Structure formats: C-alpha cells, structure tokens
Copies of this chain bind each other. A is one copy, B any other.
Amino acid sequence: MNNIFIIGVGLIGGSFALDIKALHPECKVFGIDTTEAHLEEALQLGVIDEKANFEDLNKAEIVIIAIPVDATLEVLPKVLDHISDDTIVFDAGSTKEDICDKVRNHPKRRNYLAVHPIAGTEHSGPKAAIHGLYKNKTNIICEVEETAFKLQEKALKLFSDLGMRIRYMNPKAHDKHIAYVSHLSHISAFMLGKTVIDKERNERDIFDMAGSGFASTVRLAKSSPAMWTPIFKQNKTNVIETLDEYIDNLKHFKQLMEDNDFEAVYNEMEKTNHIKDILNGIQ
C-alpha cells in the first residue's frame, strides 16, 4: 500500500491510520483536517506522517473520510472530484441513506464505498486514536454493488486485515436499525445524565452516591455533540420513532408502578433479562 489519506484525524480516522501503519509500515499516511491544531497533534503523536490538502488527493490509494455526517455530505463529492480512477474512498458515518443519495449520480460513484464501522469510544480528537479499535468489530457496508469490483476488493482486504466482520445492508435498513441500537442509546444516556444533573444542585452528592452501574448507563453522555447533532438530524424520522417507543415503554412501566402491579413490573424486567444472550455476543 502507498498513500493513505485520512480526512478528519480524530478517534475514528486516527485509529484507522494507526492500524494501517502497523500493517503496512511502507505506506505514507496523509492527514486533512479543518482544525489545524488537530493536524499538528496528529503529526506529533505519529498518527499521520504528513499534512495534506485536497489538491494532493490525486496521488491517494485510499481515502478515509471520518468527519461529522453533515460535513461528509459536502466533502465526499469534492473528494471524488479530486481522486484518480484507481482510488477507493470510504466514509465511516453513522448514517448511510443521505450520503448514498448525495453521490448516487456522481461520475466517480464507483470509487466510493459506504461504510459504517461499529466501533468507537466516548472520547474524541487525535489523542483518542488507539491501536486495534476495529479488531473483532462489525463493519456495515451499504450498496456494495455500486462500487467498482476491484476497489471493493481492496477495501474488503483492508477490513479483513484489521480483523473486522463484514455485514451488507441497504442504507434504509441500516439507518432504521442503527437508530435502535446506537442512536437511541445515546439519547437515553444524555437525558439520564441531564435528569440527574438538573436535580442535584450539589454535585458532591451525585459523585458520592453513584456507582459503576450509573457510570455505565450514562457513559455515552460524554460523547461529542458536534458528531451527534448531525446524526440525529440526518436520521430524524427513525430516531423519533425509536424515541416514541422508548417513551411509551417508560410510561407503561411507570403506569404499572402507579397501579401497584409489581407482578407486571417483575415480568417486564424478566422478559428483558434475555438481553444477556444478545450482549454475550457483543462483548
């Protein structure tokens, strides 16, 4: 491998860079970012080898776009305009329908692969980049048939070398399902954090009484609003649907408590305990 371009040198892009450099010490990693301080930091941390800009993209073998999903809508067409016929470009965004629609008729559509690696942490920026982030993680690929065969192959080889499991979906199904298992979890955590913070004027009280259970449930409320706001905006319809169902379930649970129907409260929890089997597969 030769020239890898990372657009957005944060947690996601930076972690790709680190693993690719480990696999292919001969390759050169170029970074593009709107935040100059991030580029400098990525250079110093050895996440990238060199700063670059869009005019350099014609020498890229692989371009990885790892920026907020609203910015990807603007940046991807520009990237496709600049690359050679043999370059494979993929993004890593948490929404896939809008981005696939955006480039549907771009002359270089065949150079793009729509990708969503289910990997990350609640941290962000170049410092958050870590080795092995993608190992044993699921990578969802949408509209694979729209990408040139040889370029699909190159990207799949890379994902396989990184230790990822591949799943193919259409963008609509992706956005609908991911709203449940990812987007809703984030809102649930953010609003839990808000509820507790609003209530407790004296933070020492929270700090002292909260245990590892609270920490786990609210962990995602540390996530970046700059990354998540555009995701909720792009996936608005699906996310609102999940929120309606979640709120209804919470109201129903509350109603059972108000009715003193604690047998039903027990059953609600007992039926959901089944989540154990699902989680065992994830962790």
Contact = CB atoms under 8 A, between A and B. Distances in A.
Copies assembled: 2
A167 B206 CA distance: 12
Chain A interface extent, by class? 35 or more
A43 interface: no
A118 B167 contact: no
Interface stretch (A21-29, A50-58, A235-243): A235-243
A225 B177 contact: no
A232 B200 contact: no
A192 B180 CA distance: 9
A35 interface: no
Interface string A245-260: 1110111011001101
Interface stretch (A7-15, A102-110, A213-221): A213-221
A261 to B, nearest CB: 10
Given A216-B219, A221-B273, A229 B118 contact: no
Contacts of A258: 240
A214 B118 CA distance: 10
A180 B209 CA distance: 10
Contacts of A221: 269, 272-273, 275
Interface of A: 118-122, 137-138, 140, 165, 167, 177-178, 180-182, 184-200, 203, 205-223, 225-226, 228-230, 232-233, 236, 239-240, 242-247, 249-251, 253-254, 257-258, 260, 262, 265-279, 281-283
